Amino acid sequence: MAGELVKAKENLKIGQRVEFYVEADDTRYKSRIEDITDDILEVAMPMTRKGVPVIPQQGEKLYGVAVGNQCRFRFFTVFKGMGKKDDRIPIWYITKPKKMERFQNREFVRVRVNMSAKVRLVDEDGTIHAKEIVPIYDLSGSGICLIFDHQVSVPASLGLELNGIPGAGNIDVLCRVVRCEEVERADESVVYHVGAAFQHLPRAVVNQIVRYLFSVQRASIAKGLKE
């Protein structure tokens, strides 16, 4: 579900910290806004942990996040080129968004999806439980939140089968259960949100998941703009 849409020009400031995810990459790259024009943002060129400049392809779509005091604002932008600010600071030139989506910090890169998964719970003593089909609450490049009708022990493991991610085929991966939270629904029924981290998921599959989440986010934001 999309959050509140706000005007970018009222919430973007020179010197503000921004973060980027380039398409098909779940690494967060930190930056800051160096200058703002009518249609372009100039941001400090992000670097990898090894100090290597991050240079997207011309016209590549980027998932950006502007950091506010109590929340963050996510937006999509397009890489237009690179240069130097005051002949000394390497920068990106990216399109200035017209709208951004306000959201709470904890929601970043967790995307609500209308999907289900097949799972087998594995207790610490190695007991393997029967296969269950459970709804997915949200998904990220590193883990998943599932909705169970019963409590799940922590720690535990689960075997996960997931289909429906374009280009990823049948995802079959072992996950580590990291939390189980009781949630009361509007009808006063109780379910359990179970968070699990993917274990040893191939990088190519992670990239496909991230690419899919990009498309879901774009559709969500586009729907909000139309409304």
Which residues are bridge partners to 89 per DSSP? Answer: 85
132 token code pair: 């269950």
Among 68-77, 78-87, 123-132, the least confident range: 68-77
Q: How far apart, in Å, are the Cα atoms of 92 and each of 7, 36, 55, 106, 150?
A: 22, 12, 8, 27, 49
Q: What is the mean pLDDT of residues 80-91?
A: 94
Distance CA 51, CA 223 (A): 38
Distance CA 129, CA 120 (A): 6
Residue 68 contacts residue 53 (beta carbons within 8 Å): no
Q: Could you read off the pLDDT of 105-138 as tens digits, one per residue?
A: 544 567 888 899 999 999 888 889 999 999 999 9
Which residues are bridge partners to 176 per DSSP? Answer: 157, 197
Query: Phi/psi at 191 (nearest 5 deg)?
Result: -130, 175
Residue 62 contacts residue 22 (beta carbons within 8 Å): yes
Q: To which residue do tokens 């586009």 refer?
A: 222
Instruction: Give the start-to-end residue ranges of the domains of the chain.
Output: 4-107, 111-222
- To the question of domain 4-107 being in CATH 2.30.110.10, the answer is yes
- pLDDT of the residue at 2: 45
Listed in order, strand segments (DSSP E) in 111-202 are 111-112, 116-122, 132-139, 143-148, 156-162, 171-184, 190-199
Superfamily of the domain at 111-222: predicted glycosyltransferase like domains (2.40.10.220)
Q: What is the mean pLDDT of residues 134-161?
A: 93
The pTM score is: 0.58
Within 10 Å of residue 54's Cβ, how many Cβ atoms? 17
Q: What is the mean pLDDT of residues 64-86?
A: 88
- pLDDT of the residue at 221: 60
Query: Phi/psi at 153 (nearest 5 deg)?
Result: -70, 145
Residue 19 contacts residue 67 (beta carbons within 8 Å): yes
Burial status of residue 39 (CB atoms within 10 A of its CB: 0-12, 13-18, 19 or more): exposed
- pLDDT of the residue at 227: 47
- pLDDT of the residue at 222: 57
Higher pLDDT, 212 or 1: 212
Res. 163 pLDDT band, cuts 50 70 90: very high
Sign, Cα dihedral of 147, 151, 156, 161? negative
Distance CA 56, CA 31 (A): 14
Res. 28 pLDDT band, cuts 50 70 90: confident
